[in-house]
């Protein structure tokens, strides 16, 4: 698990100063009050994660990183996995959510708890506490909900929330179910305030309206001012949000997005994004981040910042062993390592982009069998336009089978050429790759 440097050790006067420098705070309650809370005795804070999918994504990872900064500073974290709110889902920017069965939500909640536990400290003298809002809402009757909670919310305020207002003006509108989400989340904050003395809630910038619902509820019924702050929404170079509702989620579950592809995602980020991503997604100290940014400006071809970013984030999520395996696989594909040493799952993930299009438009690995010529397999894998072109390239010494040069234009594929009994990697020159899978 990545080491988190104390904010004073990192050269900041306060924790809030560091979070702001890293771009991890977008909106907040009164900054002076928030700074005093974070600089004083340890407080209890929480962030909610709804199991509306079987995995968290990098948008959620920002919240977990914020939680780790606070945890490292001695504040006490609560991770709320929404067993109740996950059955509803917070309102999206457009379109009503599909409600998932209760058993699916419960199964996804377990997976999210395991993912959160891989990022936050779960042992020691300040472990994360896991809670589910299903525990305090499941037995609440409709009458109790309306009398004890709903009466404290004003319709005008609820309608003015940004996401609600946007949905109301859309063609789809918004259902009472999703409209009520902010009431449930507000009640969560009140419950955690009463039960654990929780006085700070974190969330993404699109959650501001839901976060302030709890803030207002606690002020109204308990007469106490608590705090919230949000982090910016992470977007790609085109300004598009990385999230499951947008169809381009970068999952942190290794079965949904392999560690290899996760590593490649970060490694392939453009130079222009390095400063913001290194600050937000790594725990590297300020001086090291500034050095990497300067290196990007003066010597971008080395891609040192991208390597550091990919190593830090992938190690945080998947561990150092899986990260090193991803690096080794990438190196081996281009002749700088042992292909046979790569485990099957990592190899398959590394080769995924080498699938070819079938007649029906789908993509799959090109097929081959032992006894077929390497030249024919290379054509099928899309490396050559014809057998004659493949043979000519072999004669000139430009074709490699599993990183071994092919000297005979009539060379056949053998059983031992299929790595893990499945894949044979053919390379043309230094950079052009193709793969065939045994049929």
Q: Does the pLDDT at position 1 exceed 60?
A: no
400 annotated to a ligand binding site: no
Q: How confident is the model at residue 55 (pLDDT cuts 50, 70, 90)?
A: very high
Parallel, antiparallel, or unpaired: how do β-strands 76-81 and 227-231 relate? unpaired
State both tokens at 53: 């999918």
Is 185 annotated to bind a ligand? Reply is yes
Q: Who's near 217: CB < 8 A, 6+ residues apart? A: 149, 152, 153, 186, 187, 189, 190
Mean predicted lDDT score pLDDT of the chain: 90
Above 70 in pLDDT, residue 247?
no
User: Which range is least confidently modeled, 74-88, 167-181, 234-248, 256-270?
Assistant: 234-248
**DSSP letter string, 308-377:** HHHHHHHHHHH-HHHHHHHHHHHHHHTTSS-GGGS-HHHHHHHHGGG-EE-TTS-EEPEEE-TTSBHHHH
Residue 346 pLDDT > 60: yes
Alpha helices in 94-197 (DSSP H): 102-119, 134-137, 142-144, 155-160, 162-168, 176-179, 181-196
Least confident segment among 21-30, 205-214, 282-291, 303-312: 205-214
181 is in an annotated binding site: yes
189 annotated ligand binder: no
- Is residue 239 scored above 80 in pLDDT? no
Mean pLDDT of 275-304: 95
Residue 58: pLDDT above 90? yes
For the stretch 102-148, pLDDT in tens is: 999 999 999 999 999 999 999 999 999 999 999 999 888 989 888 88
Provide the pLDDT for residue 6. Answer: 66
Residue 378 half-sphere exposure, CB side, CA atoms within 13 Å? 31
Residue 10 or residue 148, greater confidence:
148
Dump pLDDT digits (tens) for 141-151: 989 888 888 88
Cβ neighbours, 10 Å, residue 184: 22
* 291 has pLDDT over 90: yes
Among 228-242, 320-334, 385-399, where is mean pLDDT lowest?
A: 228-242
The CA distances from residue 252 to 47, 59, 117, 222, 346, in Å, are: 18, 10, 12, 38, 15
Per-residue pLDDT at 170: 78
Q: Which residue has the higher pLDDT, 55 or 154?
A: 55
Cβ atoms of residues 254 and 248 within 8 Å:
no
Q: What is the pLDDT of residues 356-372, one digit of tens each?
A: 887 777 888 999 999 99
With 0-12 / 13-18 / 19 or more C-beta atoms within 10 angstroms meaning exposed / middle / buried, residue 218 is buried
Question: 3-class SS at 236?
Answer: coil
* Geometric angle at alpha carbon 202, from 276 and 105, rounded to 5°: 105
Q: Is 78 helix (H, G, I), strand (E, B) or coil?
A: strand
pTM: 0.86
């Amino acid at each position: 698990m990545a080491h988190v440097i104390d904010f004073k050790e990192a050269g900041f006067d306060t924790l809030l100063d560091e979070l702001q420098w890293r771009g991890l705070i977008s909106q907040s309650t009164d900054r002076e009050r928030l700074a005093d809370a974070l600089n004083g005795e340890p407080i209890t804070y929480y962030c909610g994660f709804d199991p509306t999918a079987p995995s968290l994504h990098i948008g959620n990872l920002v919240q977990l990183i914020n939680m780790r900064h606070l945890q490292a500073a001695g504040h006490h974290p609560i991770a709320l996995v929404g067993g109740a709110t996950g059955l509803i889902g917070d309102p999206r920017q457009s379109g009503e959510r599909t409600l998932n069965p209760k058993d699916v939500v419960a199964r996804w909640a377990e997976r999210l708890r395991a993912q959160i536990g891989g990022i936050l400290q779960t042992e020691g003298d300040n472990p994360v506490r896991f809670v589910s809002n299903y525990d305090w809402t499941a037995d609440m009757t409709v009458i109790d909900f309306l009398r004890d909670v709903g009466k404290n919310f004003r319709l005008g305020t609820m309608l003015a929330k940004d996401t609600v207002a946007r949905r109301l003006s859309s063609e789809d509108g918004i259902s009472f179910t999703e409209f009520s989400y902010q009431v449930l989340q507000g009640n969560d904050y009140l419950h955690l305030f009463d039960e654990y003395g929780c006085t700070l809630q974190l969330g993404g910038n699109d959650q501001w309206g839901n976060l302030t619902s709890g803030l207002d509820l606690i002020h109204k019924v308990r007469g106490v001012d608590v705090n919230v702050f949000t982090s910016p929404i992470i977007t790609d170079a085109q300004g598009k949000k990385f999230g499951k509702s947008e169809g381009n989620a970068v999952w942190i579950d290794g079965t949904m997005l392999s560690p290899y592809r996760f590593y490649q995602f970060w490694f392939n980020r453009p130079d222009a994004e390095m400063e913001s991503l290194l600050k937000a997604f790594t725990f590297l100290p300020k001086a090291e981040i500034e050095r990497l940014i300067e290196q990007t400006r003066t010597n971008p071809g080395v891609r040192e910042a991208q390597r550091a970013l990919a190593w830090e984030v992938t190690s945080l999520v998947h561990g150092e062993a899986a990260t090193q395996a991803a690096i080794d696989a990438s190196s081996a594909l281009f002749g700088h390592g042992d292909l046979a040493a790569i485990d099957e799952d990592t190899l398959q993930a590394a080769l995924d982009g080498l699938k070819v299009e079938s007649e029906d438009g789908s993509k799959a690995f090109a097929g081959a069998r032992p006894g077929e010529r390497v030249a024919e397999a290379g054509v099928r894998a899309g490396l050559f336009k014809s057998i004659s072109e493949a043979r000519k390239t072999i004669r000139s010494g430009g074709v490699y089978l599993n990183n071994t040069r092919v000297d005979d234009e009539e060379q056949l594929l053998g059983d031992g050429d299929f790595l893990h009994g499945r894949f044979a990697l053919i390379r043309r020159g230094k950079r052009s790759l193709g793969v065939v899978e045994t049929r």
